[in-house]
């Protein structure tokens, strides 16, 4: 098997056996293009080669000396810019001055010898997944020596395998490295300088980044589950949609970081500096379905295609994540952040109860075909449904009345609504007692005088004041005061007003204590 066939087949099939043969060979790297060209254009000093597979969209050959076609041969003096290779730092290098053209197919392109070792080393990290940690580290060191920055992005649908990479005892300068989509699980990157590095979609699960410099790093959609980030420098890093579940962020400063839709369940925080605004869409340039400050668990629960049972679980995880953030804001003395996290926690608890109730009810009725039907212990599921619905209803009422103890104006608005509601009730009852029609108090000749007096009567009922003076000036008020039904309603209004007044004092006390 020739070397060109080995390389082309190895990249297409990701066959490690063929790759072994390739890297054991000592000849120059020759790339065989496996697909016919879909377009060949020659215009002035530029040759454009495009095809449907392999390096998409193709090679762009800038030809300052022009192109010469002789028979079935193409001659040029060119500088290659292959999109896939360019991402790996293989760019601006002269290629062979001659290639064969047969039936619309460029068969081979020969890379200059200066890039042979670099390409071979890089491809080993994509194709040979059985390399040891020491071998991977050695390859990365060699690549770092041949370039100003390390470039190992996702390549031809493959991701660089850097599992267990150990850079702590060698060159720690990986500034502006391109490691998009790389597997870096269990990597040891303590105190490594990754300033401005691109690590989007990279898997850094259980990696040790203690003391690392990640300022201005791109970590969108990265997996940092159980990663050690203690005392690392993170200012300006982009953690949008990153998975930070169970990560250690003690001793870090997250100011200036984008945390919109990052997963925060179980994150270890110890008075970590951050603001609630960093979880909002304003921290990123992308337009997303959820613009308000939120974490990934909440976003997935709201917009993900999940079962009711899974949604309830996700809302529970979001509740616990907001609980951790609430404690951190409390340690910081950030009362605005504390209030935001607390209200979010309670809303997640409400949503969890709602979806849990629907999940139990659906299983009772056999509506979810993905779960087995309930044949035993139906009483347990009925009780769970009722319990969760009760919790949902109570939480919704508390949210509407006082926003879980954080909404001062909601309590005041509720007091106004209570007084207005009882005023209208008294007006209807008064019209009936005075032998008016149903809306006599509202449209009768005395409506202008009766309605304000009814409002005052309702307000005095809220404060349990004696209405004797008001009865002397209005027959309608006297009729209402003598009615047993109205007396009963007035007692209910008084109790409701006392409860709301106590709640108002509680909310005001919270505001004063946090000011």
Tens of pLDDT, residue by residue over 347-366, are: 999 999 999 999 888 887 76
Which of 44-53, 345-354, 483-492 shows the lowest per-residue confidence on average (mean pLDDT)? 44-53
Whole-number average pLDDT of the chain: 76
Contact present, 198 and 172 (Cβ < 8 Å): no
Which of 88-102, 153-167, 217-231 shows the lowest per-residue confidence on average (mean pLDDT)? 88-102
Which of 94-103, 289-298, 355-364, 375-384 shows the lowest per-residue confidence on average (mean pLDDT)? 94-103
3-state secondary structure of 223: strand
C-alpha 339, offset from chain centre:
21
Average pLDDT over residues 153-177: 81
Tokens 């070792």 appear where? 117
Q: Let me know if 205 is exposed, middle or buried by CB neighbors in 10 A (0-12, 13-18, 19+).
A: buried
- Give the confidence band of 189 by pLDDT, cuts at 50, 70, 90: very high
- Radius of gyration, alpha carbons of the chain: 35
Residue 236 has pLDDT above 90, yes or no: yes
Residue 387 has pLDDT above 90, yes or no: yes
Q: How far is CA 448 from CA 418, 437, 439, 445, in A?
A: 21, 17, 13, 8
Size of the chain, expressed as the number of residues it contains: 515
pLDDT of residue 212: 94
Q: How far is CA 274 from CA 48, 243, 254, 470, 477, in A?
A: 50, 17, 5, 57, 58
Cross-strand pairs, 183 = 161, 203
Name the more confident of 31 and 503. Answer: 503
Which of 143-147, 300-304, 314-318, 489-493 shows the lowest per-residue confidence on average (mean pLDDT)? 143-147
- Give the confidence band of 63 by pLDDT, cuts at 50, 70, 90: very low
Which of 26-30, 298-302, 376-380, 442-446 shows the lowest per-residue confidence on average (mean pLDDT)? 26-30
Reduced 3-state DSSP string for 335-373: HHHHHHHHHHHHHHHHHHHHHHHHHHHHHHHCCCCCCCC
Task: Name the pTM for this structure.
Answer: 0.76
The rounded percent of the chain whose pLDDT value lies above 70 is: 68
Helix axis angle for 16-24 and 116-127, nearest 10°, is: 160
pLDDT of residue 436: 57
Average pLDDT over residues 178-199: 93
Which homologous superfamily does the CATH classification assign to the domain defined by 162-289? E3 ubiquitin-protein ligase SopA (2.160.20.80)
Helix axis angle for 408-433 and 475-482, nearest 10°, is: 100
- Give the confidence band of 157 by pLDDT, cuts at 50, 70, 90: low
Average pLDDT over residues 290-299: 82
Range with the largest mean pLDDT of 23-32, 228-237, 367-376, 419-428: 228-237
Q: How far is CA 33 from CA 11, 74, 490, in A?
A: 11, 16, 89
pLDDT of residue 204: 96
pLDDT in tens, 493-510: 999 999 999 999 999 988
Name the more confident of 233 and 32. Answer: 233
Contact present, 280 and 249 (Cβ < 8 Å): no
Which of 1-5, 156-160, 240-244, 397-401 shows the lowest per-residue confidence on average (mean pLDDT)? 1-5
Tokens 């007396």 appear where? 487
Closest CA to 97 of 72, 69, 74, 76: 76
Token pair for residue 426?
Answer: 């008294």
Name the more confident of 273 and 292. Answer: 273
**Phi, psi at 109, each rounded to 5°:** -130, 125
**Buried-state track 418-437, b at ≥16 Cβ within 10 A, e below 16:** bbeebbebbbebbbebbebe
Strand (E) or helix (H) holding 403? none
- Give the confidence band of 96 by pLDDT, cuts at 50, 70, 90: very low
Residue 494 makes CB contacts below 8 A (sequence gap 6+) with 461, 462, 463, 464
**Phi, psi at 434, each rounded to 5°:** -95, 10
pLDDT of residue 139: 85
């Amino acid at each position: 098997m020739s070397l060109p066939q080995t390389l082309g087949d190895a990249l297409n099939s990701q066959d490690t056996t063929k790759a072994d043969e390739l890297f054991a060979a000592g000849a120059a790297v020759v790339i065989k293009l496996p697909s016919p060209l879909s377009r060949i254009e020659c215009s002035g000093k530029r040759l454009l080669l495009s095809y449907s597979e392999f390096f998409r969209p193709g090679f762009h050959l800038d030809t300052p000396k022009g192109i010469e076609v002789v028979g079935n041969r193409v001659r040029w003096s060119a500088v290659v810019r292959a999109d896939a290779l360019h991402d790996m730092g293989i760019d601006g290098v002269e290629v062979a001055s001659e290639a064969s053209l047969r039936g619309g197919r460029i068969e081979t392109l020969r890379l200059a010898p200066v890039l042979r070792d670099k390409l071979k080393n890089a491809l080993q990290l994509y194709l040979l997944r059985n390399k040891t940690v020491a071998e991977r580290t050695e390859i990365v060191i060699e690549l770092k020596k041949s370039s100003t920055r390390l470039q190992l992005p996702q390549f031809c649908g493959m991701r660089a395998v850097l599992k267990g990479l150990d850079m702590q005892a060698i060159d720690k300068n990986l500034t502006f490295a391109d490691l998009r989509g790389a597997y870096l699980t269990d990597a040891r990157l303590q105190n490594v300088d990754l300033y401005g590095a691109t690590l989007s979609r990279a898997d850094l699960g259980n990696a040790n980044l203690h003391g690392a410099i990640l300022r201005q790093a791109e970590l969108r959609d990265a997996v940092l589950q159980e990663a050690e980030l203690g005392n690392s420098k993170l200012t300006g890093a982009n953690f949008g949609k990153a998975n930070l579940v169970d990560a250690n962020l003690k001793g870090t400063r997250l100011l200036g970081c984008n945390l919109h839709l990052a997963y925060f369940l179980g994150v270890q925080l110890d008075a970590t500096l951050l603001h609630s605004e960093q979880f909002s869409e304003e921290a990123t340039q992308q337009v997303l379905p959820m613009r308000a400050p939120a974490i990934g668990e909440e976003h997935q629960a709201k917009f993900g295609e999940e079962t009711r049972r899974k949604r309830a679980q996700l809302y529970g995880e979001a509740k616990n994540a907001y609980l951790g953030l609430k404690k951190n804001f409390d340690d910081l003395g950030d009362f605005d952040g504390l209030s935001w996290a607390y209200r979010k926690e309670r809303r997640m608890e409400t949503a969890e109860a709602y979806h849990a109730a629907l999940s139990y009810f659906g299983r009772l009725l056999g509506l979810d075909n993905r779960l087995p039907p309930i044949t035993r212990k139906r009483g347990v599921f009925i009780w769970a449904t009722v319990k969760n619905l009760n919790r949902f209803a109570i939480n919704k009422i508390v949210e509407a009345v006082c926003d879980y103890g954080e909404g001062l104006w909601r309590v005041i608005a509720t007091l106004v609504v209570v007084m207005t509601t009882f005023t209208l009730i008294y007006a209807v009852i008064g019209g009936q007692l005075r032998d008016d029609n149903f809306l006599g108090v509202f449209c009768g000749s005395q409506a202008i005088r009766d309605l304000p007096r009814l409002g005052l009567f309702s307000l005095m009922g809220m404060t349990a004041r004696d209405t004797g003076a008001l009865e002397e000036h209005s027959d309608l008020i006297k009729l209402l005061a003598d009615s047993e039904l109205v007396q009963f309603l007035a007692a209910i209004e008084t109790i409701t007003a006392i409860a709301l007044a106590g709640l108002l004092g509680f909310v005001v006390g919270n505001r004063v204590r946090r000011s």
